[in-house]
Chains A and B, each alone.
Chain A
Amino acid sequence: MTNDALPKQPTYYEEVERKGYSRRDFMKFVSLMTAFIGLENTAIGQVAKALETKPRLPVIWLHFQECTCCSESFIRSSHPIVADILLDKISLDYTETLMAASGTQAEAALKNTMTKYKGQYILCVEGSVPTAADGVYCMIGGKTSMQILEEAAEGAAAIIAWGSCASNGCVQAAKPNPTSATPIHKLVKGKPIIKVPGCPPIGEVMAGVIVHYLTFGRIPELDRLGRPKAFYSKRVHDSCYRRPFYDAGLFVETFDDENAKKGYCLYKVGCKGPSTYNACGVMKWNNGTSYPIQSGHPCIGCSEENYWDNGRLYERASHFAGFGIEANADTLGKVALGVTAAALAGHAIATNIGKSKLIHEHQAEGRESEHELEQ
């Protein structure tokens, strides 16, 4: 586990060879990654060269308030090299769930990497950091997650906020957020932070970020919300294979109806695809097997901020905070419309009583003019 055993850092390609992969496997991996990170195929050579010549990037992977689904996703990436090389014990110097070491040894490995590769390592954070009660809700080795994050972030070249917890707080930050679970970008300043939201995110995004950083020496282009553009610039809706049913206006009404069997659009059973930015429809999950919509389930918008609080999972309509669970915007609107109509009816009656004199005068005036014309 420790880096002392390896006097010189091997390159990724050396690792690939050592693991018994062929050159062909390596080139397939390179082509895949080049496509994933949104480069033209002329860049394949550049990526291959980087992986052949540059020593591997040290990665520290911290786990805070999370469920480890992000790690699970990562080790099921579509190409075995992703997990074997990028997420091997060689490459990951410290990760609670996958490293061989434990206890004092593990802490020593973490410290070792932090000092030896100061300013060079990639810090990957899975999970949010609780800030309530001085952070006692998440402590590892006697330190709060906030302390660990601060120490590890200081010497990091870049930080990957891996998953929805680290990017926007996810379920533990949902109202009332008892532990004050806080995403990474609100705690660490002055470091490039790449948000990779999703619950879990797609494993290839992580691999893509690492390969991009290795090839070009800088982090990939990010959007306004700090997510890599190559993966988060399109909505799930835009790459959805059920999109023609949406455009045609053909929808699943309930999960057991005929339309569901026909594979119609899941929009009306709450699909958040039209407001969710992710690459699920293109890359899919578990070695490209499927993704939620393909298996007949609406997208729940897991890579969007506050998706737990912003609406229900199986309905288009969103609840209205402060008006009870069942009130949505349209129910409230209809009530407001009813109240308005009643108020206007009341006003109309009051007008006829309160302004009767004025109204009668106008009518008399009009009638008088009419009479004069008649004569």
Chain B
Amino acid sequence: MANKYLHIHRLRRVYVWELPVRFYHWLNALVIVVLIVTGFYIANPLALLSKQEASTQYTMGWFRYLHFAAAYLFFFNFLFRLYWGFVGNKYANWKQFIPTSQRFFKEMWTVFKIDILMLKKNGQPQDHLSVGHNAMAGFIYFLTFIAFLVQCLTGFGLYSSMASWWFPKLFAWVPALLGGDILTRQLHHWAMWFFILFAVIHVYLVFYHDYVEGRGEISSMGGGWKFIEEEVFEQHKHHTPNPEK
């Protein structure tokens, strides 16, 4: 290697993901896994055989209990994240997710060119350009939030008729709107596949960014830090609009 010409980067430590964001992320990951596993079990339970009386067993009951308990955590965690989108730092802000300007779409296109088409610029491979979420990721997260909403509406809608608490009963209009529980259940089941596909792509892309960019993408959700090149840092200092201002 021509070490003489090697550019050694000077990195700046940036606190990107605050503790509440990290907490939200990992709790969300955990409950989504629980919801998918228990959801699959509820949809198609295993063929169990038992010599015991049915009254001594509660297998399906426990799976359903876990599903409902995880659903409550998921919902309130989701609400908390929405709140944090207004009070958290700029990387957590709602403007990172909802396209509000021409620039957002332009950046999405740039991300597409760099990470999917792998186009070069002036014969050089292009480096990434974002510190927090890139615009494409932000927009995909916006779609996941819509999927969250669909799951919460259909899920609590199905739950409403067996609930004794007033809160799930607030969702009773959902199955009524869809004409009944059959279609509501189907939508709930179909939407789950979005979460599975998202999780696979999400984990892959985290590894991809870490590998290609070497900025601590994977560990950022642990400690909250990303390591940004000095020149990129300077660039962003002037260009990233601070939504709090």
> B116 contacts which chain A residues (CB < 8 A)?
347
Chain B CB within 8 A of A38 CB? no
Is there an interface contact between B6 and A235, defined as CB atoms closer than 8 Å?
Answer: no
Interface presence of A239 (CB below 8 A): no
- Bound Cα distance A272, B7 (Å): 66
Given A250-B57, A253-B47, A337-B196, A368 and B183 contact (CB-CB distance below 8 Å): no
Q: Is the CB of A267 within 8 A of B182?
A: no
Question: Which interface residue of B57, B63, B116 has the most chain A CB atoms within 10 A?
Answer: B57
Least Cβ–Cβ distance between A239 and chain B, in angstroms: 12
Distance A102 CA – B198 CA, assembled complex (angstroms)? 66
Cα separation A357 to B213 with both chains bound (whole Å): 12
The segment from A89-97, A104-112, A201-209, A359-367 found at the interface with B is A359-367
Once the chains bind, are B44 and A316 in contact (CB under 8 Å)?
Answer: yes
Whether B45 lies near A366 (C-beta < 8 A) is no
Contact residues, A228-245 vs B (CB, 8 A): 233-235, 238, 244-245
Question: From residue A275, how far is it (CB to closest CB) to chain B in Å?
Answer: 3
Binds B, one of A62-70, A134-142, A284-292, A301-309: A301-309
Given the complex, which residues of A lie within 8 Å of B59, measured CB to CB?
248-249
| Contact A333 to B193, CB < 8 A, known contacts A248-B55, A274-B181, A355-B125 | yes
User: Chain A residues near B173 (CB, 8 Å)?
Assistant: 224
Q: Given A244-B54, A244-B55, A250-B48, decide whether A329 and B7 contact each other with a Cβ distance below 8 A.
A: no
Shortest beta-carbon distance from B153 to chain A in Å? 15
Q: Using CB atoms, name the residue of chain B closest to A332.
A: B193
Contact A275 B3 (CB under 8 A): no
**A187: interface (CB < 8 Å):** no
Select which of B43, B181, B204 is within 8 A of A304 by beta carbon: B181
Q: Which residues of A contact B54 (CB under 8 A)?
A: 244-245, 247-248, 250
> B27-52 CB contact bits vs A (8 Å, 1 = yes)?
00000000000000001111111100
Contact of B125 among A248, A276, A358 (CB under 8 A): A358
Closest chain B CB from A243 CB (angstroms): 10
The contact of A305 among B50, B124, B179, by CB within 8 Å, is: B179
Residues of chain B lying within 8 A (CB to CB) of residue A340: 197, 200-201
B196 touches A301 (CB 8 A): no
Q: A275-B184, A351-B208 are in contact. List 19 more A-B contacts (CB 8 A).
A: A225-B179, A247-B57, A248-B59, A248-B60, A249-B45, A249-B48, A249-B61, A277-B181, A304-B181, A306-B182, A318-B189, A329-B190, A337-B200, A340-B200, A351-B118, A351-B212, A359-B212, A365-B7, A369-B8
Provide the bound-state CA to CA distance between A368 and B196, in Å.
Answer: 40
> How many residues in A have their beta carbons less than 8 Å from beta carbons of B?
62
* A268–B6 touching, CB < 8 Å: no
**CA distance in complex: A311, B187 (Å):** 12
Chain B contacts for A369, CB-based, 8 A: 8
Nearest CB on A from B213, distance (A): 8
B185 at the interface (CB under 8 A from A): yes
Kindly state whether residue B211 has any CB partner on chain A within 8 Å. Answer: yes
A329 CA to B188 CA, complexed, in Å: 11
Known: A248-B54, A248-B59, A329-B189. A276 touches B181 (CB 8 A): yes
Interface residues on B, range: 35 or more
Contact A248 B57 (CB under 8 A): yes
B235 interfacial contact with A, CB 8 Å? no
Sampled A-B contacts (11; CB under 8 Å)? A244-B55, A247-B54, A250-B57, A274-B181, A276-B182, A304-B179, A304-B182, A305-B180, A333-B196, A340-B197, A355-B118
Residues on the B chain within 8 Å of A238, using CB: 162
> A365–B6 contact, CB under 8 A?
yes
Task: Report which of A235, A268, A347, A365 forms a contact with B161, defined as CB distance below 8 A.
Answer: A235
Residues of chain B contacted by A358 (CB below 8 angstroms): 125, 127, 212
Is A311 touching B58 in the complex (CB atoms < 8 A)?
Answer: no
The answer to whether B193 touches A336 (Cβ under 8 A) is yes
A249 vs B196: C-alpha distance when bound (angstroms)? 25
Interface hits, B183-223 → A, CB 8 Å: 183-186, 189-190, 193, 196-197, 200-201, 204, 208, 211-214
Q: How far is the CA of A77 from the CA of B184 in the complex (A)?
A: 33
Of B9, B185, B196, B212, which is within 8 A of A355 by CB? B212
Q: How far is the CB of B34 from chain A (nearest CB, A)?
A: 17
* A-side contacts of B8, CB under 8 Å: 365, 368-369
Report A-chain residues with C-beta under 8 Å of the C-beta of B162: 235, 238
- B172 in contact (CB, < 8 A): yes
- Any chain B CB within 8 A of the CB of A344? yes
Check if B186 sits within 8 Å of A310, measured CB to CB.
yes
Q: Is the CB of B6 within 8 A of A368?
A: yes
Q: Which residues does chain A contribute within 8 Å of B201, judged by CB atoms?
A: 340, 344
Q: How far is the CA of A336 from the CA of B6 in the complex (A)?
A: 43
Determine the distance from Cα of A234 to Cα of B8 in the docked complex, in whole angstroms: 69
Known: A248-B59, A249-B59, A361-B6. A354 touches B193 (CB 8 A): no
What separation, in Å, do the CA atoms of A361 and B1 have in the docked complex? 9
Q: A235-B161, A340-B200, A354-B125 are in contact. Are A361 and B180 (CB under 8 A)?
A: no
Interface readout for B8-23 with A: 1 if CB under 8 Å, 0 if not?
A: 1100000000000000
